[in-house]
């Protein structure tokens, strides 16, 4: 009986070590800075605005059509993150791609999709349009 308990405890310890050993030590709940391991770069809304103002960027909004029609950043092209994989032909490979969504979660997923498809100049706007609006930057309201 005691040996069964020892075996069970050791098994739990081994499983725990394996699980913890597979975790990425660089991972955290906070998303910021250069995401070089993912192949894209996270940028603040301030940096994103500078990129947009320079005029040398393909602005990709990966929210739903409904969200996009409610409000979006002027000049953005809307492709829902759930459709992005099948609509890559609409995203130029030879341009800088700046991706945003509402808060930055879907745009990170979309950035990964682009990188996995061979895109090399991809930027994810942290905080999304919510942070953009909070900074008082201009946006289009309505379709």
Residues of the chain with confidence (pLDDT) below 50: 15-34
Total Cβ atoms within 10 A of residue 96? 16
Predicted pLDDT of residue 2: 63
Cα 113 from Cα 91, distance rounded (Å): 12
Summarised one tens digit per residue, pLDDT across range 56-81 is: 899 999 999 999 999 999 999 999 99
Residue 94: which of 64, 118, 63, 127 has the closest Cα?
118
Residue among 109, 58, 103 nearest 82 (CA): 109
Asked whether 101 and 130 are in contact (CB, 8 A), the reply is: no
Sheet holding 97-100, edge to edge: 34-35, 40-43, 122-125, 97-100, 58-61, 77-78
Set 59, 76, 79, 101: catalytic member: 101
Q: How many beta carbons lie within 10 A of that of residue 92, not counting itself?
A: 11
Active-site residue, 101 included: yes
- The number of residues making up the chain comes to 143
- Output the pLDDT for position 142: 75
Q: Is the pTM of this model over 0.95?
A: no
Structural domains of the chain ordered from first start = 29-141 (3.40.250.10)
């Amino acid at each position: 009986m005691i040996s069964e308990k020892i075996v069970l405890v050791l098994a739990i310890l081994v499983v725990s070590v394996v699980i913890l050993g597979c975790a990425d030590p660089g991972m955290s709940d906070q998303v910021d800075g250069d995401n070089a391991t993912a192949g894209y770069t996270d940028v603040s809304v301030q940096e994103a605005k500078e990129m947009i103002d320079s005029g040398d960027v393909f602005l990709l909004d990966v929210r739903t059509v409904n969200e996009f029609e409610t409000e979006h950043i002027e000049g953005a092209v809307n492709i829902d993150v759930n459709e992005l994989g099948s609509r890559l032909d609409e995203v130029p490979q030879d341009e800088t791609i700046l991706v945003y969504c509402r808060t930055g979660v879907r745009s990170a997923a979309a950035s990964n999709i682009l990188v996995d498809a061979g895109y090399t100049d991809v930027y994810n706007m942290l905080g999304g349009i919510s942070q953009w609006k909070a900074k008082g930057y201009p946006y289009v309201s309505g379709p």
